Amino acid sequence: MEKQLDYDTVSTRLTQQNVAVDGAEMQGILCGMFCGGMSLTDQRWLSTLKDIANQGEPFSDTAEQMLTALFNQTCQQLLEAEFSLQLLLPEDNTPLNDRGVALINWVQGFLVGFGLHQQDLTNCSADVKEAMEDFANISRMEEPMEDDEESERAFNEVAEYVKISAILCFSELGQSLLDDQPANPSVH
């Protein structure tokens, strides 16, 4: 199996390609698209990313290869049963505020990607509706965090909540993704 992409690698490559979003936001957009019901076989995701994250400009071959790897990695993590989604965030030794900004970027990206495929939440469960409200609130958080144990714990709780909520949305709305997969048991 190829090495998992991490936040620093993706963010650095995006910056080198003059793409205005970081790795967290890019993965958030992809994850939101999957969780909103985009099919895994939908080949338009790259042009959608181009429009959202690159002012409609095509990505370089290097960026496109990396984004394809990120697409496949995120896809695979969502399809694995053991809550294996790993949010693309900076390492734990990164200052807490930087990790907080990346988490906010991830959530903002998720909301954008999700909204492309799921504008109407009326048929969604109360849990999905609540998660989307919480994501909207998280995406607006601005105040800097103290770099202490309590803030660290709060950050980890919010990051875990975001991860579990994304998986919840995927298991409810992303089921159509499994249509083109061999029979996989669904996670509830």
Would the pLDDT of 28 be above 60?
yes
Percent above pLDDT 70 for the chain: 91
Task: Tell whether 1 is covered by a domain.
Answer: no
Structure confidence at residue 105 as a pLDDT band (50, 70, 90): very high
Q: Which two tokens stand for residue 104?
A: 């906010």
List, for residues 33-52, the tens digit of each pLDDT value. Answer: 999 998 877 788 999 999 99
Q: How many distinct structural domains can be found in the chain?
A: 1
What CATH number corresponds to the domain at position 15?
A: 1.20.120.740
Task: Tell whether 118 is covered by a domain.
Answer: yes
What is the pTM assigned to this prediction?
Answer: 0.89
Would the pLDDT of 120 be above 90?
no
Task: Tell whether 186 is covered by a domain.
Answer: no
Q: Which domain holds residue 145?
A: 7-180
